[in-house]
Structure 1
Amino acid sequence: MSKELMDALEAVEKEHNISKDTLLDAIENSLIQACRNNYGKADNIHVEMNRETGDFAIHADLEVVDEVEDPALQVTLAEAKLIDPKAQVGDIVHKPIDSKKFGRIATTNAKNVILQKIREEERKALYRDWCCKERDMVTGVVQRYANHNYYIDLGKIDAVLPESEQVKGEVFQPTERIKLYVVEVKDTNRGPRISVSRSHPELVKRLFESEVAEVKAGIVEIVAIAREAGSRTKIAVKSNDPNVDPVGACVGMNGDRVNAVVHELRGEKIDIINWDDNAAFLIENALSPAKVILVMADEDEKEAQVIVPDFQLSLAIGKEGQNARLAAKLTGYRIDIKSETEARESGLLDQLEQGYEDGFEGYSDEPLYDEDGEAVPEDGEDLFTDDAQGGSGDDLG
């Protein structure tokens, strides 16, 4: 029987990720509980168990007295002599208890103690496994859609993708595998509760980590993300290795890497720009693919004045203001965009150029434009370099 017990414990240990010692402790406690149910008390009950073989013995510590008042705690001298021939009044004898004689109720309660302990330990083990996955990405299988929520199978545990964390327009079919961002893991009486999201900006970061080896290794760092889930995302990247182009690493050969992320996000557009510690250059990059004439950034007020060519104004602002809105989220600056004509008529361009000459953080290229709207710098050099555009002026999504 002992071997069968140990084999069963090993099987439970592997299946439920619960240590064998914990299960043996549960068995000891269940035996004590059975004694309490059978005899009414268990304070003087002791269980000795061999952790290697599974053999166990139960005994009760009884005081030897002349007249028994409490059979659960006391024993007469004559009965004590049967246990220990050397026993005397006042001694404590150890009376063996046969667990096979326990009643049905005591046995059932002992079984329930073991099962309850297994459930508790399984819940704790699940929480230990999942608490380290908080703020990480996991893969789940869609089970069903009900009441505007998706129910997701994550393996040993299920999660609910609520409507508030879904991306508008995304539709999943049962058995479909999807990537999810684990927002929070809570320990509850019914087991871990996993909060997942498809709209969280960090999901994009985790997807790039899975696709771009340089990001996962820390060579390329995603410094900031601004996302309007289902429509467009802007990410700012920098390289910790001067020999690695951060934008090129994220785009991949023929756009393979960024396209893999776009595919997982069901076609969401992604702009990748170079991060710059200079706020003005960062704002110019963030407004990509629009070209910029001048940026004046106020670090204290977190505000920026931006002037763009007339024909670039709508591109800089974007459809329904999306490009400017994402650039503001990405940089943390309130961005005011004006066309070159509007800025000159209001005198703003002259003021900003003077501020730039006085040493404020900003820059001015002062380009001229030909009839086709192309920039023609006075010095004859290219006005908008790859660095100035963040290396990703095109829509990579």
Structure 2
Amino acid sequence: MTQDSVNFIDAIDELCDEKGLNKETVISTVEAALAAAYRKDYGKPHQVIRAKMDPKTGDAEMFKVTTVIDDEEFENPEAEITLTDAKKIKKDYKVGDEIIEPMPKEENFGRIAAQTAKQVIIQRIREAERDMIFSEFKDREHTIGNGSVQQIEGKNVIVSLGKVNAILFPSDQIRDENYYVGQRLKVYIKEVAQTSRGPQVLVSRTDEGLIKGLFELEVPEIANETVEIKSLAREAGTRTKMAVIAHDENIDPIGSCVGQRGTRVQSVLAEIGDEKIDIILWDEDVEKFIVNALSPAKCEKIVISSKDNKAIVYVPDDSLSLAIGKNGQNVRLASKLTGWGIDIEKAESQGKDKKLKKDKKNDSDTNSKTTAVSVEKKEIVKEDLPMDEDKNIKEGKK
């Protein structure tokens, strides 16, 4: 064992610690580089040379590998041997076996060979580092990541996620949101792809997955699947509708998402700016689900057409603008949330409709569970009430 070998192994250990690389992968890369350099200076072009390095001492041994093949397929005498000739060496050889022979130990590689080894080592280590980063971030695809703005290139924002820089394209930026270098923000890791220049990570601030991921971080009941986000519709920067359901009858899904004094939902809103969030109760009954989705508007009658997958909802005059929303946003999001086409029409004040309205009021009185709540940043001002009293949030409160 020479001092140079010891220094070489120490350098590999330091490199692995610095780059977070697997030592076995680096050793394998070095072995391939040394084999290529040895073949260039001391071997033949078509030979198969294999290097074996001792990971403790750094000493390397070279071997020539010859593959046993069928006599009729023999083409490369430098790397192959016919089965007939192989059996003359050892009767047990069969097609596919490898004959491994040690090569003379050469202490001094030539200058060109050493340079070749260096280039291959650098290239292979860079590839191993890229593969490791790609694998790590591929596993984090469709999750939330903490980042900081590294630089701004035109309309694109480069976000540092630690080991890799991600791209935030204009289409994934919240409208009217300003970005500056050093700004810390949460992003949704939208796509991770392997390119010739290394892993390319695309992130988003507008994807619905950002809202879902933020609630998973803030609401333990969602993380442990006691409460489930059934569907979500979003127009980034302005409004989101989210339908939730509890798989435990003792848990209020809306109250869980809102949190005591609104702390949980406010933590989410703090990450997305001036965006309103409507949290509504999911219902397997389509009519009830559509009515909940149109909150905070009140509905008097609903007509379902399963054939066309459409619904006509009749609302009182004073709820017409609420049902439609600014520029049609409320009905548009409700339609996307439920998966049904929704038409809003003004209800006529007839006896039948009044009776239906009265029946709906009676149903509401008998069911104290909150069906929807609309929240915007720093809006919830409820007193610090027990969870049961939290259910007194007015339906459709703004």
For normalisation by structure 1, the TM-score amounts to 0.79
- Asked if 1:220 is matched to 2:210, the reply is no
- Asked if 1:162 is matched to 2:165, the reply is no
Distance 1:219 1:299 in 2: 31
1:20 CA drift (Å): 1.6
- Asked if 1:56 is matched to 2:46, the reply is no
SS at match of 2:104: strand
* Residues 141 and 153 in structure 1, CA contact (< 8 A), matched pair in contact too: yes
Residue 372 of structure 2 corresponds to: 392
The change in CA–CA distance for 1:257 and 1:60 in structure 2 (over 3 A counts) is closer
How do 1:1-397 residues align onto structure 2 when only pairs under 5 Å count? Answer: 1=3, 2-39=5-42, 41=44, 43=47, 45-58=49-62, 96-100=104-108, 102-341=109-348, 366-367=356-357, 377=358, 382=362, 384-385=364-365, 391-397=371-377
Q: CA RMSD in A?
A: 2.8
Distance 2:355 2:39 in 1: 88
Distance 1:187 1:93 in 2: 39
Distance 1:387 1:226 in 2: 26
The change in CA–CA distance for 1:103 and 1:210 in structure 2 (over 3 A counts) is same
Distance 1:198 1:330 in 2: 19
Residue 372 of structure 1 corresponds to: none
Number of matched residues?
342
Distance 1:56 1:277 in 2: 68
Distance 2:101 2:266 in 1: 78
* Residues 32 and 50 in structure 2, CA contact (< 8 A), matched pair in contact too: no
Distance 1:279 1:338 in 2: 18
Distance 2:158 2:276 in 1: 27
The change in CA–CA distance for 1:311 and 1:48 in structure 2 (over 3 A counts) is closer
Distance 1:98 1:207 in 2: 60
> What does the per-residue CA deviation read over 1:253-294, in whole Å, with 9 as the maximum and x for residues that have no partner?
111111111111012000000000000000000000111111
* Residues 36 and 49 in structure 2, CA contact (< 8 A), matched pair in contact too: no
* Residues 230 and 266 in structure 1, CA contact (< 8 A), matched pair in contact too: yes
SS at match of 1:117: helix
Distance 1:95 1:183 in 2: 51
Distance 1:51 1:141 in 2: 39
For normalisation by structure 2, the TM-score amounts to 0.79
1:296 CA drift (Å): 2.2
SS at match of 1:96: coil
* Residues 191 and 202 in structure 2, CA contact (< 8 A), matched pair in contact too: yes
* Residues 280 and 371 in structure 2, CA contact (< 8 A), matched pair in contact too: yes
The change in CA–CA distance for 1:304 and 1:388 in structure 2 (over 3 A counts) is farther
The change in CA–CA distance for 1:250 and 1:95 in structure 2 (over 3 A counts) is closer
Paired residue type of 1:224:
S
Distance 2:338 2:271 in 1: 26
Residue 361 of structure 1 corresponds to: none
* Residues 285 and 389 in structure 1, CA contact (< 8 A), matched pair in contact too: no
SS at match of 2:128: helix
Distance 2:215 2:101 in 1: 70
Distance 1:314 1:45 in 2: 78
SS at match of 2:356: coil
Could you list the runs of 5+ residues in structure 2 that have no partner in the other structure?
66-77, 80-99, 378-398
Distance 2:103 2:207 in 1: 64
* Residues 60 and 96 in structure 1, CA contact (< 8 A), matched pair in contact too: no
Distance 1:281 1:146 in 2: 48
> What does the per-residue CA deviation read over 1:298-350, in whole Å, with 9 as the maximum and x for residues that have no partner?
33421111111111111111111111111101001111111112x86xxxx97
* Residues 182 and 195 in structure 1, CA contact (< 8 A), matched pair in contact too: yes
Residue 382 of structure 2 corresponds to: none
> What does the per-residue CA deviation read over 1:30-77, in whole Å, with 9 as the maximum and x for residues that have no partner?
22211232236262645343234322233679xxxxxxxxxx99xxxx
Deviates more, 1:293-302 or 1:280-289: 293-302
Deviates more, 1:11-20 or 1:327-336: 11-20
Distance 1:257 1:389 in 2: 19
Distance 1:44 1:37 in 2: 11
The change in CA–CA distance for 1:44 and 1:242 in structure 2 (over 3 A counts) is closer
Distance 1:394 1:106 in 2: 70
1:382 CA drift (Å): 4.6
1:365 CA drift (Å): 5.5
> What does the per-residue CA deviation read over 1:59-107, in whole Å, with 9 as the maximum and x for residues that have no partner?
679xxxxxxxxxx99xxxxxxxxxxxxxxxxxx995523232x221111
* Residues 293 and 365 in structure 1, CA contact (< 8 A), matched pair in contact too: no
1:395 CA drift (Å): 3.9
Distance 1:254 1:181 in 2: 27
